[in-house]
Amino acid sequence: MVTPPAVPALLDPLVRQFLEIALPAVAEHHGTPLHLVFPQVFARNAGNLRDVLTARGIDHRLCYAHKVNRSQAFVREARRLGLDIDVASAGELDSALRAGFPAARVEATGPKGERFLKRLLAAGVTVNVDNRWELDRIIALAERPTPILLRVSGFPGTAASRFGMPPEEVERLWPVLAACRDSVELRGLSFHLDTGAHRDRLRAVAGCLALLESAWAGGLAPDVLDIGGGLRQVFTADPGAYDTYTRALRESLLDRQPGLAWSGATFGYRIGDTATHGTPVFHKYANTVPAAEELAALLDAEIPGHHRSLAAVLTDNLLQLWLEPGKALADHAGITVAAVEFTRDLPDGTVLVNLDLSRDQVTPADQETLVDPLLLPAEPAAPAPLGAFLAGHLCLERDMVSTRAIRLPCRPRPGDLLVFPNTAGYHSDLSAATAAMHPAPPRLAVTRERSTFSTGPDAGYRPTEEGPCAPTTTSPN
Ligand SMILES: Cc1ncc(COP(=O)(O)O)c(C=O)c1O
């Protein structure tokens, strides 16, 4: 089997130090597989975003999008840091309230059924209304004025969305809202775009600003603009390596190079006679711009039709900016650790490395990841690079942890550890299932004090009010 180019992952220095000095003992103590979260990295990410906002004098609320990870440690850390929280299910609402968030610091987004709406109204949180049905139900059910945002979508030139309401529909709601002030209080407008494209976000901002103005003309007084999440992560240590790998992969899909793709996988490429076309499913792994830089560029960009930056428009008009970052806060704040069970050589020379976890536990919504896991051999091993596919522990053909060939520094042996970097942003949780009665990997919170690491159950993590954080148990380094 061909040895593919490497795609080295970027590692946070704290995580790197943990791998170097503490991981083997933690894996020995707790077993594998394991999800490990690093609340201190989460806190640093939050600080970086906050610095960008405060440097521009922007009145803001940073709502941590809980959906990115089930970790209780992140939720408790978010509360300690003074962040707000965005919940998208009854389970997430419970988790936020359990962590001590007051209702005033909770916002609910996403589509909601009647039962969830009733819970939200009883709790008294801000409801980010997704559609007309939700609004009508709130008006019918609310016994006191409920703070709401309206989610807008379908801006000219942006992709269609199943969420939110088009601007024309939103504009028709002003008389309804003005007549129902005893059940709804319009705080503002929101959008969430599943794209890294600034141009689309700025168009959405311009669309919302026009709507805010018309709401004021309609007798309402909204002062919140919520720009959702979507700030990106940086996975790769070397963007050149990403390009080299994808070039080799595309050549291999055209059969010009020995196979780098597992049986039939095309990664979203369309295969022509002489070239591959389209955007691969793993394109986000090419990003090199940290979230804080991306946010700064967005705030400093001119809004179409306004001849002023977003930051200037917000401050000049006394608007409050809300953000709902998920993966940007979780960036580099988690890893997943698996153990090698055994390796297999297939008749055509393909090498399979079987692991003790499944694809769903380490890839977001079944997407391929395009940074390499790190192999930590249990015993010192001489370098002998090879290519291999990673196979999961479910007896399903589809349970391939990687459907692209991965470069490993040497042939793994049973008991060696494989570390998947940067998994806290959806990778560990978005499609996680306990198939075939395999238990979900335990989740541990890791904290560092000087050069000593403490590790304890995620659910037992308790930050001290002034930080740093205090896990409940300490395991050997
Ligand atoms: C409404 C809403 N807000 C925020 C987020 C978080 O997005 P991200 O993790 O890309 O920041 C999502 C993610 O799906 C969302 O649907």
Domains of the chain, by residue range, sit at: 13-38+332-476, 40-232+288-330
Q: Kindly report the backbone phi and psi dihedral angles of residue 55, in degrees, each rounded to the nearest multiple of 5, phi listed first.
A: -60, -25
Q: Residue 152's beta-bridge partner residues?
A: 165
Instruction: In whole angstroms, give the CA distance from residue 182 to residue 189.
Output: 19
Q: Which residues line ligand 1 (CB under 6 A)?
A: 65, 67-68, 86, 109-110, 192, 228-231, 324-328
Q: Which atom of ligand 1 is nearest to the CA of 231?
A: 11
| Max CA distance (Å), the chain | 75
Specify the CATH architecture of the domain 40-232+288-330: Alpha-Beta Barrel (3.20)
CA of 308 to the centre of ligand 1 (A): 27
Dist. CA 324 → ligand 1 center (Å): 6
pLDDT of residue 195 exceeding 90, the answer is: no
Residue 275 CA to ligand 1 center (angstroms) comes to 34
Closest C-alpha to ligand 1, atom 7: 229
Residue 191 Cα to ligand 1 midpoint, Å, equals 10
Please state whether the predicted TM-score (pTM) of the whole model is above 0.85: yes
Q: If you average pLDDT over residues 299-306, what whole number do you get? A: 95
Residue 329 CA, closest ligand 1 atom number: 11
In this structure, the dihedral spanned by the alpha carbons of residues 192, 197, 200 and 205, taken in order and rounded to 10 degrees, is 60
Q: Is the pLDDT of residue 470 over 50?
A: no
CA of 342 from ligand 1 middle (Å) equals 38
Among candidate residues 201, 211, 188, the one with its CA nearest the CA of residue 299: 201
Q: What is the pLDDT of residue 366?
A: 78
Nearest atom (ligand 1) to Cα of 151: 1
Interval 173-193 mean pLDDT = 97
- Kindly state the average pLDDT of the residues 33-55: 98
190, 324, 327, 422, best to mutate for ligand 1 pocket (most atoms within 8 Å of CB): 324
Exposure pattern of 79-96 as b/e (b: 16+ CB <10 Å)?
A: bbbebbbbbbebebbebb
Compute the average pLDDT of residues 85-110. 98
Q: What is the 3-state secondary structure (H, E, C) of the chain?
A: CCCCCCCCECCCHHHHHHHHHCHHHHHHHHCCCEEEECHHHHHHHHHHHHHHHHHCCCCEEEEEEHHHCCCHHHHHHHHHHCCEEEECCHHHHHHHHHCCCCHHHEEECCCCCHHHHHHHHHHCCEEEECCHHHHHHHHHHCCCCEEEEEEECCCCCCCCCCCCECHHHHHCCHHHHHHCCCCEEEEEEECCCCCCCHHHHHHHHHHHHHHHHHHHHCCCCCCEEECCCCCCCCCECCHHHHHHHHHHHHHHHCCCCCCCECCCCCCCCEECCCCEECCCCCHHHHCCCCHHHHHHHHHHCECCCCCCEHHHHHHHCCCEEEECCCHHHHCCCEEEEEEEEEEEECCCCCEEEEECCCHHHCCHHHCCCCCCCEEECCCCCCCCCEEEEEECCCCCCCCECCCECEEECCCCCCCCEEEECCCCCCCCCCCCCCHHHCCCCCEEEEEEECCEEEEEEHHHCEECCCCCEECCCCCCC
For the CA of 325, the closest atom of ligand 1 is 11
Answer yes or no: are the C-beta atoms of 146 and 158 closer than 8 Å. Answer: no
Q: From CA 329, how far away is CA 293, in angstroms rounded?
A: 13
Give the position, in ligand 1's atom list, of the atom nearest the Cα of 232. Answer: 10
pLDDT band, residue 471 (cuts 50/70/90): very low
The pLDDT tens digits of the residues spanning 445-461 come to 999 998 899 999 999 99
Contact between 332 and 422 under an 8 Å Cβ cutoff? The reply is: yes
Cα(201) to ligand 1 centroid in Å equals: 14
Mean pLDDT of the region 213-226: 98
Q: Looking at ligand 1, which residue's alpha carbon is closest to its atom 13?
A: 229
Parallel/antiparallel/unpaired status of strands 334-345 and 417-420? antiparallel
CA of 229 to the centre of ligand 1 (A): 4
Specify the ligand 1 atom closest to the Cα of 63: 4
pLDDT 10s digits, 121-152: 999 999 999 999 999 999 999 999 999 999 99
Asked if pLDDT for residue 472 goes beyond 50, the answer is no
330 CA to centre of ligand 1 in angstroms: 12
Q: Kindly give the number of the ligand 1 atom that is closest to the alpha carbon of 324.
A: 4
If one compares 467 and 113, the residue with the highest pLDDT of the two is 113
Contact 115, 130 (CB under 8 A): no
- State residue 196's pLDDT score: 75
Which residue owns the Cα nearest ligand 1 atom 5? 229
Ligand 1 centroid from CA 416, angstroms: 35
Residues 6+ positions from 450 with CB-CB distance below 8 Å: none
pLDDT at 66 over 50: yes
Look-up: residue for tokens 């793709």? 261
158 alpha carbon – ligand 1 mean position (Å):
17
Q: Determine the residue of 61, 89, 192 to mutate for testing ligand 1's pocket, defined as the one with the most ligand atoms within 8 A of the Cβ atom.
A: 192
- Ligand 1, atom 12, lies closest to the CA of 229
Ligand 1: residue whose CA is nearest its atom 9: 326
* Nearest atom within ligand 1 for CA of residue 128: 1
How far does Cα 407 stand from its chain's mean position?
A: 26
Cα(328) to ligand 1 centroid in Å equals 10
The position carrying tokens 């509360």 is 79
In this model, does residue 468 exceed pLDDT 70?
no
Residues 6 or more apart in contact with residue 21 via CB below 8 angstroms: 451, 453, 477
CA of 385 to the centre of ligand 1 (A): 39
Pocket test for ligand 1, best of 63, 68, 127, 329 (most atoms within 8 A of CB): 68
Atom of ligand 1 at shortest distance to CA of 190? 1
CATH (residue range 13-38+332-476): 2.40.37.10
The closest residue, in CA terms, to atom 10 on ligand 1 is 230
Of the residues 109, 130, 227, 430, which should be mutated to test ligand 1's pocket, given the most ligand atoms within 8 Å of the CB? 109
Residue 159: the pLDDT is 81
Least confident of 239-248, 339-348, 464-473: 464-473
